Amino acid sequence: MFFVKVLEHRIHLHPSFFGAQASDYILDQLYRDREGSNTGTMMIVAIIDVDDISEPKIVPGSGYAEYDVSYRAIVWRPFRGEVVDGLVSSVVNNGFFVDVGGLSVFVSKAMIPPQLKYTVEGATPSFTDGVDQTVERGSQVRLRIKGIRGEMGQMFAIGSIREDYLGPLLQ
Amino acid sequence: MASILDQDFPDEEEDDFNPAPEVGSDDEADEKPAANDDDDEDEPPARSERSRSRPQRDADDDAKDELGTEGLIGFGRDEDAEGEGRNLDDEDDEEDEEDEEDEQDDDLEGQPSRKRRKQHRRNQFIDVEAEVDEEDEEEPEEDDDLPGEEMHPDDLQELPPGADRDDRKHRELDRQREAQFQMDVEEEAARLKERYGRQSRATGTGSAIVPQRLLLPTTEDPRIFRMKCRPGKEKEVIISIQGRVNERLGSREPVRIYSAFERAKPGSPMSGMIYVEASRVEDVIAACEGITHVFMGTKPLMVPLEEMPDLLKVTKEKQLEPGMYVRIRRGLYSGDLAAVHEVEANGTEVILRIVPRLDYGLNEDVNGPMEAANGQKRKRPLVQRPPARLFSETEAKKRHGKYLSKQGGLSGSNWTYQNKEYIDGFLLEPFRLNALQTEDVNPTLEEVTKFATSSTDDGAENLDLAALAATLKTSTANEFLPGDKVEVFRGEQKGVTGHSVQVYGDVVKVKVDPGNGALSGGHIEAPIRDLRKLFREGDHVKVIGGSKYTDEVGMVVRTKDDRVTLLTDSNQSEITVFSKDLREATDSGGAAADSKFDLFDLVQLDAATVGCVIKVDRESLRILDQNSSVRTMLPSNISNKIEKRRNAVATDRDGNEMKSDDTIKEYSGEQKSGRVLHLHRNFVFAQTRERAENAGVWVSRHANVQVVAAKGGKAASGGVDLTKMNPALKQNGASPSPMPPPQAKGRDRLIGKSVKIRTGPNKGMIGLVKDASPDEAKVELHAKNKTLTMKKDMLTLIDPNTGNAIPDGIRSLAMGRPPPAGAGRTPAYAAGGGGRTPAYAMPSGGRTPAYAAGGGGRTPAWKQDAGARTPAYGGGTTYGGGGLGGQTAYGGATSYSGATSYGGGSVWGGGGGGGGPGGQSTWNPNMGGRTPAPSGSKTPAYGGMEAPTPGFNSAPTPGSYQDQPTPGGFRDQPTPGGFRGGNYQTPGSYQTPGGFPETPGPYSAETPGGDDGPRYD
């Protein structure tokens, strides 16, 4: 789900950057650092605006200036039980991986309806029921997130398509 | 514990003695009639048994007679006490009366008889059901009129003197009972309480407590004697004694023992002993004499009085039931899990279902020596036991068809192979109990599934969970912790879920989750065996024990009964474990925190090999080495861990910068992609989550990958690093220091080369280098049998064939270049100066020399071999020179012209004049690389045109330089010399090129001239 959230970020500036442009540097750095990053629970999609750049403080002993920047950002946070759409990034024999934005979701074989069977045609593995549903690399899939695990900088989840209205989307 | 011996036990006493409920309840009294009706049906057979046993009675044994006459007392017969008790109770008119009477008498006197005491002693070990008691009181009611009626006339005859006393007592008893019957219920209850209250201590239901010491045996009780027997045969012996007792029941010499039992357990100190309860030693001997496996040699040992109770302590023993799992202790299958298929009636043998380990004769030495005498096979040590696999008749047919036969024929899966029975692929084999381990079996899921899967046709798993639970029951004690999510999976509260709040003993207090109806929010208590931990899909769990997956962390993808499948965090593989082995994980750590290596660490395997850890087990590591092979190693076998160099940089195939964490893609092959984990030397280790094998890690060479997206991209492409010095402010920083010359690595290349000593007392001597250090070398002299250690700079490398010194050869060797190539290379160097210029020079001088070339053209050809090389050397030397050296290389080419071109030398001078001398020279060298060949034959064209050729161009770039080193190619080229010879004439244009040979000419003339010249001549 998407949210607008007020966040803070702390940036250190080398004394050699001190000057009129310092705040530009800070802003640049903020966008570079945070946009598209992943905190382990959510992903910062875009920074809407910067509320405030604090007065810099000189860090004793190093001479660096420390800025606290508070900004508003659109974040995406997946929830357990949420139904999301994603793109299949790879298919292996015990399930498949789906990219949902920056979140990699694994759908285990146990969470795939039994009529979808693992088949390998040529070099493209897929889960298919042989009629109209096929999950292969690149297919769009709707799934329910069953569990999420976050590490600093990345998130993983497992999902299920073993429910009504879930599974490959017909293109 | 003891064997269950006889149906005929005088259990009546115990039943009679069963404590009455503390409050003699009306309900129970009401129920009695019904019970009696049931019991009546059982009477006749019981009666006949009774009557048969009667004659044995020994009246002398007054109080104990019923024990003695029955011969044997088994312990632990609680299970049949009830039923038996009924029968007996119903017929109290018979022999029971005497007991009753005795008891009554005792009661009246207020002092327990010996018999009673004895009874207590036994009873304290017996868990008698309380319900039985109800029937105690029913007897009088119906049986009043039957005293002695059922007694067989024969029995009466056989009654020993004093037996008539029994009759009297019977009648007395009857009268008493009649009177009793009149009493009102309350009174009776009170009386019963008084009468049986003592018993209650044994069963724990009564309130009156009899001091333990009163229950202990006294000197007047029968004694227990120990007999030795063959270990492992205890049960058999007991059964034989039982048989003997039965056999002599009606004879003149009944076996006068009260009981016999054994306490043997495999491996316990009690094995090899049986115990017999009797009044006299002679009775014991009479009972045991002639029974196989009893060692009559050792005299019966009387067990001291105070030790007798200990002997009878009940230890609860697990009864084997079909379906349970055991482990085999010995033999081929030692350590293997087996399922109990059937328990033999005698309890000493079970038939086990085993996953067979068969090699089907594969390892059989067909021609192996047979002991001719007895036809027995030579005994071989068990080489290696075959893996456990289900029986396959096709395998067996291959080599052992003769041993194979089909059984039954209905199911088609019953086979006999080498006299053993195989059903559904399992081996059915009888085992003695003492060859089995029944405690602490701890079957792992992997083992259990072997038994589970194959037994159904559809391949669906059908684990015998109940059996498994029975096997595992013991180990579940500390399974639950407060806070665990649990589910009741059987019993009337089945399906209730909640959180455990408190665990005490075998009971867990559970706070019921909302959504469980009326129970929601309340607390219930449930026994551990009815509970299992509950996990939901998506839960993050850690394996805490019970399998090889201990410490794995992952997310639950499926739960079925108590089996949970999870997807491991470490390598995205699915594993299935029991829910009891799981716990909710708080940390996301991988496995084995105690290993000093972590997943994805780069480790040094040996001097030349590195690898990336792809799996950390408790004991071992799995490592993907730089050659893409996977090995399993012990942490101790790894020399060290290579710390990750975060700022390591390499170039990819396209020359782009590649750093840690960049996303790369394989250029060829499977086009795997991944994130760079490590850059090491020539190799890049990358990891992707999309691949399951090797934890997603793969390895490739730098030159075989392309950077898809630089992760550091932001830092690199984006702006500056604000935490470092502002680059804009940096004053034209110090230019990077020039690349240091490459260091020689590995074995010193000087070793094995011929050298000449330049100075010192041994000056001029020639020898072979046997060993070398960075600045010294051991030289074995050709002339004397002597090995000298010399400074390297006192040596000159020489050509072993010609003896020519190779100036600077040692240094170039040290630089890691093979000296012959030196010529080839040098030019390259020189080339740096001005690859092109020479082209100029070429034409200019080109012609003049043509002549010379023409003249010499041939000569060299035949000289090819010798000449070709030597000059090359010369080249090497020159090279040392530097810019000029470049030419020399060329000189190499010249070499052949060497002969010819002497005159050429002058020409060269011309050439030199033509362009910047450096330039030309440089150029030539390049040619040197290639030219030699062409020079002879083609050169003409060459000389003019070729100059610009790519070969040239590449020359300057160090890269090409590197390529060239391959001396092979270089060397090969001389061959064209031969070619040259052939073609040589063809080209009319020939002259033009002449310039070529010419150039070289100059070279050799010029620099090396000094050295080489003489040789040629």
pLDDT, tens only, B372-422: 444 444 445 556 778 888 887 777 777 777 777 777 656 667 788 888 888
Q: pTM for this one?
A: 0.42
In the three-class reduction of DSSP (H, G, I as helix; E, B as strand; rest coil), residue B100 is classed as: helix
Using the beta-carbon criterion (under 8 Å), do B567 and A106 form an inter-chain contact?
yes
Nearest C-alpha neighbor of B575 from the set B453, B693, B445: B445
**For the segment A11-47, what is each residue's pLDDT rounded down to a tens digit?**
988 888 888 888 888 998 899 888 888 888 889 999 9
Indicate if the pLDDT at residue A94 is higher than 50. Answer: yes
Residue A85 has pLDDT above 90, yes or no: yes
pLDDT score at B816: 57
CA B77-B82-B83 angle, to 5 degrees, is 100
In order of B801, B873, B927, B1010, the CA distances from B754 in angstroms are 9, 14, 29, 21
Instruction: Give the closest residue to B597 by CA, choosing from B615, B609, B570.
Output: B615
Q: Return the half-sphere exposure (C-beta side, CA atoms, 13 A cut-off) of residue B4.
A: 12
Q: Which chain B residue has its CA at the smallest distance from A16's CA?
A: B726
Q: What is the pLDDT of residue B586?
A: 65
Of B172 and B838, the structure prediction assigns the larger pLDDT to B172
A119 at B interface, C-beta within 8 A: no
Q: What secondary structure, in 3-state letters, does B291-311 show?
A: CCCEECCCCCEECCHHHHHHH
Q: Residue B111: which residues within 8 A CB-CB, separation 6 or more?
A: none
Contact B537 A111 (CB under 8 A): yes
Q: What pLDDT score was predicted for residue B718? A: 52
Q: What is the pLDDT of residue B264?
A: 75
* List of residues 6+ apart from B481 with CB closer than 8 A: B500, B503, B583
**Confidence category of residue B121, pLDDT binned at 50, 70, 90:** low
> Is the CB of B672 inside 8 Å of chain A's CB atoms?
no
Select from B540, B572, B722 the Cβ nearest to the Cβ of A149: B540
* Residue B881 pLDDT: 37
Specify whether the CB–CB gap between B91 and B11 falls below 8 A: no
For residues B161 and B875, which has the higher predicted lDDT (pLDDT)?
B161
Residue A10 and residue A66 in contact, taking contact as beta carbons nearer than 8 Å: yes
Query: Between B721 and B713, whose confidence is greater?
Result: B721
Percentage of chain B with pLDDT > 70? 50
B539 touching chain A per CB within 8 A = yes
Closest CB to B574: pick one of A12, A14, A108: A108
Nearest CA in chain A to B538: A147
B461, B537, B564: best to mutate for the A interface, most A CBs within 10 A: B537
Q: How far apart are CA B1013 and CA B894, in angstroms?
A: 12
**B565: nearest CB among A97, A110, A146:** A110
CB of A90 less than 8 A from some CB of B: yes
Greater pLDDT, B773 or A54:
A54
| Per-residue pLDDT band at B596 (split at 50, 70, 90) | confident
Q: How far apart are CA B279 and CA B281, in angstroms?
A: 7
Identity of residue B653: R
DSSP string, B689-706: TT--GGGGEEEEEGGGEE
Q: CB distance B565–A94 less than 8 Å?
A: no
What pLDDT, on the 0 to 100 scale, is given for residue B772?
82
Q: Are strands B337-343 and B349-354 parallel, antiparallel or unpaired?
A: antiparallel
The rounded distance, in Å, linking the Cα atoms of B281 and B298 is 13
Choice among B214-223, B253-262, B459-468, B885-894 with the minimum mean pLDDT: B885-894
Residues of chain B in contact with residue A160, where contact means CB-CB under 8 angstroms, are: 537
Q: If residue B1012 lies in a helix (H) or strand (E), which one and from where to where? A: helix B1009-1016
Option in B557, B690, B719 nearest A110 (CB): B557
B301 touching chain A per CB within 8 A: no
pLDDT the model gives residue B349: 81
Evaluate if residue B912 carries a pLDDT over 80.
no
Which residues from A are below 8 Å from B572, CB to CB? 106
- What local confidence, expressed as pLDDT, does residue B88 receive? 41
Chain B neighbors of A80, CB-CB under 8 A: 538
B residues 583-612 near A, CB within 8 Å?
Answer: 588
**What average pLDDT score do residues B153-177 get?**
68
CA distance A17 to chain B (A): 6
- Whether A141 shows a pLDDT value over 90: the answer reads yes
Inter-helix orientation angle B902-914/B837-881, to 10°:
120
pLDDT one-digit tens code per residue, B623-673: 998 888 888 888 888 888 888 887 888 888 888 888 888 888 888 878 888
Examine the pLDDT at B282 and tell me if it is beyond 70. Answer: yes
In chain A, residues 23-42 whose CB comes closer than 8 Å to chain B: 25-26, 28-29, 32-33
Please write down the HEC assignment for all residues of B201-265. Answer: HHHCCCCCCCCHHHHCCCCCCCEEEEEEECCCCHHHHHHHHHHHHHHCCCCCCCCCEEEEECCCC
Q: How sure is the predictor about A58, in pLDDT bands with cuts at 50, 70 and 90?
A: very high
Per mean pLDDT, which range of B458-472, B643-657, B690-704, B968-982 is the poorest?
B968-982
A28, A32, A158 member nearest B555 (Cβ):
A158
Distance, in Å, from the CA atom of B58 to the CA atom of B70, rounded to the nearest integer, reads 10
Q: What pLDDT band is residue B954 in, cutting at 50, 70 and 90? A: very low
What is the rounded average pLDDT of the residues B815-838? 44
Q: Is residue B792 a contact partner of residue B810, using CB atoms and an 8 Å limit? A: yes
Query: What count of other Cβ atoms lies within 10 Å of the Cβ of residue B182?
Result: 9
Q: Which two tokens stand for residue B742?
A: 């490459």
B692 in contact with chain A, both atoms CB, cutoff 8 A: yes
Predicted pLDDT of residue B577:
83
pLDDT (average), residues A80-92: 91
Residue B924 makes CB contacts below 8 A (sequence gap 6+) with: B827, B838, B841, B886, B887, B889, B890, B891, B893, B931, B999, B1000, B1003
> What's the half-sphere exposure (Cβ side, CA atoms, 13 Å) at B231?
9
- The residues that bridge with B574 in the sheet, in sequence order, are B567
Shortest Cα distance from B557 to chain A (angstroms)? 7
C-alpha B430/C-alpha B208 separation (Å) is 49
On whether any CB of chain A is under 8 Å from the CB of B565, the answer is yes
In angstroms, the separation between the Cα of residue B39 and the nearest Cα of chain A is 57
Contact yes or no for B555 and A94 at CB 8 A:
no
Task: Output the average pLDDT for chain B.
Answer: 65
Q: Which of B311-315, B322-326, B882-886 shows the lowest per-residue confidence on average (mean pLDDT)?
A: B882-886
pLDDT for res B536: 83
More confident residue, B62 or B435: B435
Which range, of B69-83, B106-120, B746-760, averages the lowest pLDDT? B69-83
